[in-house]
Amino acid sequence: MALVAGLAVLGVSLSFAISVGAIAVPIETVWGIFFDKLGLWSGEPTWSKGRAAIVWEIRFPRALLAIMVGAGLAMVGACLQAVTRNPLADPHLLGISSGGAFGAILALLHTGLFLGLLTVPILAFCGALLATLLVLMVSRWAGAMSADRLVLTGVAISFVIMACANILIFLGDPKATHTVVFWMLGGLGLAQWSHLIYPLAVLMPCGLWLWLQASKLNAMTIGDETASTLGIAVGRFRLTVFVVSALITGVMVAFSGMIGFVGLMVPHVVRLIVGGDYRRVLPVSALFGGIFLTWADIGARTIMAPEDMPIGILTGFVGGLFFILLLRRK
């Protein structure tokens, strides 16, 4: 029931996201342009070429990217909360997003696009994976493998990585450094149809794999000993989930910048609705994550219109308040 309702809300959210902006476009016109581009519109177009370009070339890719990024980050957050048994875990707090941003900044300011459009996502994934491994290594070295101290380790590693990223910005070409503000603050304004294939190609197989591991994730939420008695190789499975999470996060960061707290908030809201079974938590989290980030993008485009506020500012503000509420509820 929650899934069906979520799909309906997602459709309404997508329509509204494409409709609103500096130039408002009626929703019927939005879908008329959509079907016309697919060759399914039989009547004469009642819209100008300018509006068609705004809807099809700018707003549709942006809205679809918001859905994919929100879905990916929400699923990652839900899985990290399971394997760490920490309700405060998310890719932003564990330093994974910072690692992805470091890789993207390295590609943009220093290495160049030596692999074409794949350069930024690949280096972002490598940075996210490096951050993940650093968190695990430092936690093991410091004897901080407990759920609460793992998050503290992630926060510390995140600060270190962001300091390294700031060094890259300082040493980079001053004329090009303004481009990295996009990755530091988060935004969806650079979305293009040709770019959407990359986050989609990562989200679909990785998201499906995570969903197929739902029974193991359920066991991990109870404890390592229980999971081990069920035949789960706890250490290997946790590491695999971290790597898959780093892949999803790195690619999403490469195209949207650092967007925090989506993975923290959405899974908690979803559990209140569908319970704790990860067979339901993961798909509904993906759905609600897409809805949340779509509306966050709408807010970012309208609060300071016609200026486009970085979406990371809005999610950080809302997520910070949510984080405080979680602490209050212990």
CA distances from 35 to 29, 221, 226 (A): 10, 45, 52
Those residues of the chain that have pLDDT short of 70 are 1-2, 42, 143-148, 182-183, 330
Res 129: pLDDT: 85
Q: Are 28 and 158 in contact (CB under 8 A)?
A: no
Q: What is the pLDDT of residues 231-271, one digit of tens each?
A: 888 888 888 888 898 889 888 888 888 888 888 889 998 99
Q: What is the pLDDT of residues 121-141, one digit of tens each?
A: 888 888 888 888 888 888 777
Q: Is 143 left (phi over 0), alpha (psi -120 to 50) or beta?
A: left
Which residue do the tokens 């898959």 mark?
244
Half-sphere exposure of 140 (CA within 13 A, CB side): 7
Q: What is the pTM of this model?
A: 0.88
Is the CA virtual torsion 181, 300, 188, 75 positive or negative? Answer: positive
CA distance 216 to 226: 10
- Note the CATH architecture for domain 61-329: Orthogonal Bundle (1.10)
Res 36: pLDDT: 81
Domain boundaries, the chain: 61-329
